[in-house]
Structure 1
């Protein structure tokens, strides 16, 4: 499948089948994240893969939605601020680098027949505590992953190119 078709196929899955995801597929998704570019190639990402039901349940308390709890895998995407590049004006690129990696992972998962949903509206402090993370790590996003319950993706509404792109000037 070409890249545009893959990007069109990806959607936010909120209904997962009750079946485990093969470790080989999880590793392929993680490899896509690790291959993502980062500012100055500092690679400040760290991913925590959670498949254990008890730990998934504790992490799910940080985003209490029934559909979220049904995901057989949760990848916790963290940024290590002690390893991220900081621009001269003070802009820390950690969040950007992690976002690029998570985007690569969502596309890789789609290519493997898996579904994901990028979750940012969670209790980051509680998640940090549940996972007993060191101070330098920040939880940036949660990525529930599994086999989608529905066979076809919903129609996505997108703005047109003319609404989102300027040439030469705004």
Structure 2
């Protein structure tokens, strides 16, 4: 699919049919995340694939927003392997994990898989429930799957502010 069409077609799916993503498609999606740029190419992202029923039930304990997805990716970053920017006020962990996650959700759409970025949960509780190492910080969960009957973009999906409202030339 042409990139401009892909970004127009991608939406946050809020109703899945429960099927997990096929292994070949999942590998394609994960490979796209691996190609995302990171500060100093540190690649501090950590992606956890959640598909077992008992692990999906843990996701359901964290958030009401799994929407029946059969595959969920937990995206985190390693605090021991991130770049600290000059001034030492910011590090690359959250931004790099976010860039990776964006690659994942766009690659999913390209593979014919819908997605929804989830951040309505306690990341510390997610790390605890899934037994992540203390140095890893959870950024988001990414639902992946196939839309259930009647699923589709929200009404406001195509409504966008004019560029003049969001862009200023300096």
TM-score normalised according to structure 1 size: 0.92
The alpha-carbon deviation at position 64 of structure 1 amounts to 2.6
Cα distance change, pair 39–55 in 1 and its aligned pair in 2 (3 A): same
2:80 pairs with one of 79, 82, 92: 82
The alpha-carbon deviation at position 35 of structure 1 amounts to 0.4
The answer for the alignment partner of 1:165 in structure 2 is: 167
**Bigger mean CA deviation after superposition, 98-107 or 1-10:** 1-10
The answer for the alignment partner of 1:54 in structure 2 is: 54
The alpha-carbon deviation at position 158 of structure 1 amounts to 1.4
Cα distance change, pair 69–56 in 1 and its aligned pair in 2 (3 A): farther
Alignment check: 8 A CA contact 2:13 2:151 kept: no
- Displacement over 6 Å in runs of 4+: none
Partner of 2:117, secondary structure, is coil
**2:83 aligned with 1:94, yes or no?**
no
Unmatched runs of 5 consecutive residues or more in structure 1: none
> In structure 2, how many angstroms separate the alpha carbons of the residues matched to 1:160 and 1:11?
19
Alignment check: 8 A CA contact 2:70 2:145 kept: yes
> In structure 2, how many angstroms separate the alpha carbons of the residues matched to 1:75 and 1:19?
14
The alpha-carbon deviation at position 156 of structure 1 amounts to 2.4
Unmatched runs of 5 consecutive residues or more in structure 2: none
> In structure 1, how many angstroms separate the alpha carbons of the residues matched to 2:43 and 2:94?
11
1:14-25 correspondence to structure 2 within 5 Å:
14-25=14-25
Alignment check: 8 A CA contact 1:117 1:143 kept: yes
Alignment check: 8 A CA contact 2:14 2:151 kept: no
Alignment check: 8 A CA contact 1:32 1:105 kept: yes
> In structure 2, how many angstroms separate the alpha carbons of the residues matched to 1:19 and 1:122?
23
Alignment check: 8 A CA contact 2:119 2:141 kept: yes
The answer for the alignment partner of 2:158 in structure 1 is: 156
Partner of 2:72, secondary structure, is strand
Partner of 1:70, secondary structure, is coil
Alignment check: 8 A CA contact 2:14 2:116 kept: yes
> In structure 1, how many angstroms separate the alpha carbons of the residues matched to 2:58 and 2:164?
44
1:5-20 correspondence to structure 2 within 5 Å:
5-20=5-20
> In structure 1, how many angstroms separate the alpha carbons of the residues matched to 2:165 and 2:128?
42
